[in-house]
Structure 1
């Protein structure tokens, strides 16, 4: 089941624009390795779910996969071949807005080689370029 908020203040939102780099959510906190996006963009709820399934299939019982983004922005669209006017379209799907540097997923309890293979599978599903990062010693 794709992620979506239980309730929102406004049913429809404007598109907005993505400026600057991520200042929050840009460090590996829960796991040992993270998947960091290198470009801003929208990641659909279905894409996040596909990454979760692919990652959990790989780690099985050994490690733990953490999801660090949540789709809280509704994207609306009008039906095809509809005339102009008659208002804004209905919400179609939900997206997570990510800035460059945002950590999308984290892994713990696996070796670095296993994390590379797992994140390579996740990277193939992502609509933005990503890289693997390691946790910094505190």
Structure 2
């Protein structure tokens, strides 16, 4: 972790749509109110395209349906700073329900 004391780490790989990242951001901000700081560590770079149903072959690739972030196992998705561990666990529990990949709570290791 780079920014916060607590993080949400992906246990499995997959794609996370931009709308899911935004839904997680809103849920965390509503829980935190003014206390604490949320850091989003992923960005949706990958366009996911599809062609309309019942379209014949040979008309090209199709328009982007949505944008997604490619997540590998071990990637830190979100970080929190300036809150207690109990508050961070509750906030990340709300975020974990929205994520399409399995995640776990991690804490910064003090030397």
Q: Tell me the matched-pair count.
A: 111
Equivalent-residue separation in structure 2 for 1:78 and 1:115 (angstroms): 41
* Structure 1 runs of 4+ with >3 Å offset: none
**Partner deviation per Cα, 1:21-69 (whole Å, 9 max, x = no partner):** xxxxxxx110010000000100000000000000010011110100000
The alignment partner of 1:65 has SS state of: strand
Q: Unaligned regions of 5+ residues in structure 1, if any?
A: 1-27
Once the 2 structures are TM-superposed, how far is the Cα of residue 85 of structure 1 from its aligned partner?
1.9
Measure, in 2, the Cα distance between the counterparts of 1:81 and 1:55.
40
Query: Which residue of 89, 97, 101 maps to 2:62?
Result: 89
TM-score of the pair, normalised by structure 2: 0.97
1:99 has 2:72 as partner = yes
Structure 2 alignment gaps of length 5 or more: none
Does the residue aligned with 1:122 lie in a helix, a strand or coil? helix
1:102 positional shift: 0.2
TM-score by length of 1: 0.78
In structure 1, the residue matched to 2:10 is: 37
CA distance in structure 2 between the partners assigned to 1:39 and 1:81 by the alignment = 34
Please identify which structure carries the higher helix content.
2
Which has more strand, going by share of residues? 2
What residue is the counterpart of 2:38 in the other structure?
65
Query: RMSD across aligned C-alpha pairs, in angstroms?
Result: 0.8
For residue 101 of structure 2, what is the aligned residue in structure 1? 128
Distance in 1 (CA, whole Å) between partners of 2:67 and 2:110 is: 35
